[in-house]
Each structure stands twice: as C-alpha cells, then as structure tokens.
Amino acid sequence: MSYRPGQYSEYPQHHPHNHGRAFMRRSAPHAPVPAAQPAAAQPQTGYTLTHAGRQVRVGPVVFWIAVGTVTLLGLWSAATATYFAFRDDVLTRLIARQAEMQYAYEDRIAELRAKVDRTTSRQLLDQEQFEQKLDQIMRRQTVLESRATALGTIPDVTGSIRPPSRNPSTSDIGASPPKPSPISDTVIFVAPPDREARLESRAPISKSPPSNQFARIQGVDNALARLQTSLDQIESRQMAALNSYEEGAESRLRRMRGVISDLGLDMAQLEAAAPRAAMGGPFVPVKLAANANPFDRQLYRINLTRAQMDRLGRTLSMVPYRKPVIGEVEFTSGFGVRSDPFLGRPAMHTGLDFRAQSGDPVRATANGKVVSAGWSGGYGRMVEIDHGNGLSTRYGHLSEISVRIGETVKIGQVVGEVGSTGRSTGPHLHYETRIDGEAVDPQKFLRAGVRLSAG
C-alpha cells in the first residue's frame, strides 16, 4: 500500500502485526486537489477506525467524547479502587474519633455529676452543722431557763441583784432584803423547718452563685454567733446573780449568828424553843451528782445556807432586837442610873424612853404572847410580852392598849398607842427588855439589830 499525502495509510491486512487490529488513519488536505480530479474523490476530515478490514469513520466530536468518557471511567475506577483500599483506615479513624468524643462527653458528664454531688454534700454538711449548732443553742437555752427557774425559787433572788432603793432602818431589822427584778433576758428564735421543707429549699440554693451561698452561710453563722453571745451574757448574769446572793446569804448568816453570840444567848435553847410551822413529808436526802456543773454546786451550797438562815430566822424572830416605834430613834432617857424626874434623887431607870407623839403606834419587837395588858402602877397603861427562853419586853405609859392577855402577837404588830399615863412627865414610850425577869439595857439588842441589818 502506498502513502499519499493527505491520505491515511494502512498496513496491509495480511501484515503479521496487523492481525485482529483496527487501524485508523486520517485524511487531511495537504495540497490543493488537482483540477483533473473529480470533487467526489476529495478526502474528508475525521477519524477512521479500522478493524478486521472494516472501517468506521467518526467525527472529531464523537471521538473526543469517547476518549473523555474512557478517561473518566478510568479515573473513577482508580478512585474506587483507592477508596476500597483505604476504606478500613478511614472508618477506623472515624470510629476512633467518635469514641473519643463520646468518652470526652461522658467524662464531662461525670465531672459535672461529681461537682453536683460535692455541692450537695457540702450543703448537707452545712445543714447538718447548722442543725447541730442550733440544737446546741436550744439545749443551752433550756438549761438557762431551768437555771432561771431555780433562781426563781430562791427567796428575794430571781435573777440579777440590784441594790436596795433606800437605806435600811432599824424598823426593817430582820426583814427580808428587797426583792430584785427577775431576769428577763430570754432568747427567742424560730425553730428550723422540717426536713421536707429543708430539702425543698436546697434546690434554689444549689443554683445560686457560690458568692451568694457563701454570703448566706456567713449570715447563718453570724446569727448563730449572736445567739451564742446572747446566751453567754445571760449565763454570765445568772452566775453573777448567784455569786452575789451566795455572798449576801453567807454574810447575813454570819451576822445572824453574831447577834445571838453578842447577846449571850444559848443557840441550842433558842432553836429548841423556836416555833415551827405546820409542815411534813417523807425524808428525802439531798444528793449532789458527781458530775454536777459549777452552777448546780453553787446552788446546792446556797440551798444549804438558806436552810440555816431559815432556822436562825425562826430563832431570831423570838429575840427583841427591833425598834418599838417607827422613825428616827431619839432617846429622852437611857438605861441605868439617872436623876428621878419627880424626886430629883438618883434612881435606876430600867428601860429606854423613846421620844414620840401622843397616839403614835407602838409595835411588838418580836413574836410572843401577851402576859400583861392594863394599868401597872408607875408604868401607867402597860403591855408585857413573853418571847420565850426568859426573854420579855414591856411597853409603858400607853394611852391605849390594842391587845389582850393571852393573845399571840407577831413582829411589828401594834400593841398600843404612845401616851403619858402613870409616872410620866409627857408623851413618850417607856420600853424595857428583860432576861429571866431582870431588866437589861435594850440598846444592847438594838445595836445587835443594827449590825444585822448593816449588810
């Protein structure tokens, strides 16, 4: 086969290298077509596919479409092969990434749950501590209230001690000291809500900022601290009141014993003769617990002192150491030798003459029984009272007598009125104190009463 310019050439079909193959040749105009050659014989542009002696002519557009399609199919095949080759690695990475994200999410949830648990535990701990402190305060308040009740049972002392509003006079000798005002310091607070209410109240607390929670906790602690301080002050005042009463009771007990000693009286004889009020009941010995607190120990000592004071008080109620008239003491004549107002000669005066106005009340200076009530020579109208144990008193020159023989009189009871009956130069009270019938100086008893009331 020969090659001509502008024509495709092909190997012969019998060529050994062309067996079973299609050949393509392209005819292109390389030179103008000779004029002698007919138009139908001119070559046409395009691609000719030859296979087994058969030729298929295609245009350039179709050719390039076919080539592009084949190329795309090849690229797709390569991409598919690559995907399947690396698919396991990609899936493994994706699964690992997903598991990592899941673990991180679960760790975050666990961290948040632990944080909530810590917050709840802290709130529960704070609530428990608050309840413990509140229970401690309530128990302490109960103790202080019981102490206030115990102080209230002590005569003349129910709380704090305050000084008497006026100076004691001899007319008040033997009387009980002024009663002070009771303790009014009582802490009142609202008890905590029940458990359900507390559990409901925890939800908003946990949502509040930490600063608000801290401020709330600080506020509760400050309130509890103020309650503790208030209870401390009440306890201090109670202890001060107890100390003051104990000191006063012991001092008065010493003075009461001093009065009997100064007067030279027999304590045992006086106690035996002292009247006893109607009382009774089974004997229950007083026992102090080994673990008693200082308040209870001090209260125990005070109760013992009170019992001794009561016994001595009943004894001294029969001793005439008080004034028979009210007001300032002014003597017109003392006990002992004096010039007789009528005869002008030395004479023994067996009593004290108290200056007073006619009609002023005359009072018994101790408990006793009236043994004489009427006219008695130079005494004029006179009342004599027997106080037991050989002690007796006489009230002379009375204008009126208010008691009868055999009548029992109490301390301070009016027995008559000041006058000038009998051997008298003017209205006054003649007062005598006698031991076993012998007149003794009444001032000895009055001075003992002054010392007793001085404390």
CA quadruple 353, 358, 364, 368: dihedral positive or negative?
positive
Q: What is the mean pLDDT of residues 448-454?
A: 82
pLDDT of residue 415 exceeding 60: yes
Give the pLDDT confidence score for residue 397 in this predicted structure.
95
Give the pLDDT confidence score for residue 403 in this predicted structure.
96
Q: Using CB atoms within 10 Å of the CB of residue 173, give its burial: 0 to 12 exposed, 13 to 18 middle, 19+ buried.
A: buried
Rounded CA-CA distance 220/368 in Å is: 65
Rounded CA-CA distance 388/380 in Å is: 24
Rounded CA-CA distance 256/453 in Å is: 9
What is the span of the domain harbouring residue 423?
331-453
DSSP 8-class letter at 390 = T
Range with lowest mean pLDDT among 118-132, 183-197, 415-429: 183-197
- At residue 228, what are phi and psi to the nearest 5 degrees? -60, -45
Long-range contacts for 325-328 (Cβ within 8 Å, ≥24 apart)?
325/354, 325/356, 325/360, 325/361, 325/362, 325/363, 325/418, 325/429, 326/171, 326/360, 326/361, 326/363, 327/171, 327/356
**311 and 173 housed in the same domain:** yes
Q: What is the pTM of this model?
A: 0.53
Rounded CA-CA distance 342/266 in Å is: 39
Rounded CA-CA distance 224/288 in Å is: 33
Residue 95 lies in a domain: no
**207 and 236 housed in the same domain:** yes
411 or 241, which is more confident = 411
Residue 85 lies in a domain: no
Residue 349 lies in a domain: yes
**303 and 177 housed in the same domain:** yes
Which residue is it, tokens 């390569």?
A: 78
**159 and 303 housed in the same domain:** yes
- At residue 437, what are phi and psi to the nearest 5 degrees? 85, -10
pLDDT of residue 39 exceeding 70: no
Give the pLDDT confidence score for residue 156 in this predicted structure.
57
**222 and 309 housed in the same domain:** yes
**417 and 367 housed in the same domain:** yes
Residue 13 lies in a domain: no
**178 and 254 housed in the same domain:** yes
355: domain CATH number is: 2.70.70.10
CA triplet 346, 350, 351: central angle to 5 degrees?
A: 120
**312 and 337 housed in the same domain:** no
How far CA 289 is from CA of 143, 293, 300, in Å, comes to 16, 9, 10
Mean per-residue pLDDT of the chain: 76
Q: Using CB atoms within 10 Å of the CB of residue 443, give its burial: 0 to 12 exposed, 13 to 18 middle, 19+ buried.
A: middle
Give the pLDDT confidence score for residue 364 in this predicted structure.
95
Residue 188 lies in a domain: yes
CA dihedral 119, 123, 126, 127 (to 10 degrees): -170
Q: What is the mean pLDDT of residues 163-188?
A: 39
Q: How many domains does the chain have?
A: 2
**372 and 265 housed in the same domain:** no
Residue 56 lies in a domain: no
Range with lowest mean pLDDT among 61-65, 215-219, 413-417: 215-219
Residue 26 lies in a domain: no
CA quadruple 290, 292, 293, 298: dihedral positive or negative?
negative
pLDDT of residue 2 exceeding 50: no
Q: Are 245 and 309 in contact (CB under 8 A)?
A: no
**235 and 380 housed in the same domain:** no
Q: What is the mean pLDDT of residues 85-113?
A: 85
- Residue 213: band (very low, low, confident or very high) from pLDDT cuts 50, 70, 90: low
Q: What is the mean pLDDT of residues 4-14?
A: 44
Residue 52 lies in a domain: no
**147 and 296 housed in the same domain:** yes
- Out of 32-41, 43-52, 118-127, 443-452, give the one with best mean pLDDT: 443-452
Give the pLDDT confidence score for residue 367 in this predicted structure.
93
Q: What is the mean pLDDT of residues 333-342?
A: 88
pLDDT of residue 161 exceeding 50: no
For 58, the 3-state DSSP assignment is strand
For the beta carbon of residue 342, count every other beta carbon within 10 angstroms: 11
**350 and 293 housed in the same domain:** no
Which residue is it, tokens 């608000």?
A: 212
Rounded CA-CA distance 349/334 in Å is: 7
Q: What is the mean pLDDT of residues 355-379?
A: 93
Which residue is it, tokens 């009236």?
A: 370
pLDDT of residue 119 exceeding 70: yes
pLDDT of residue 386 exceeding 70: yes
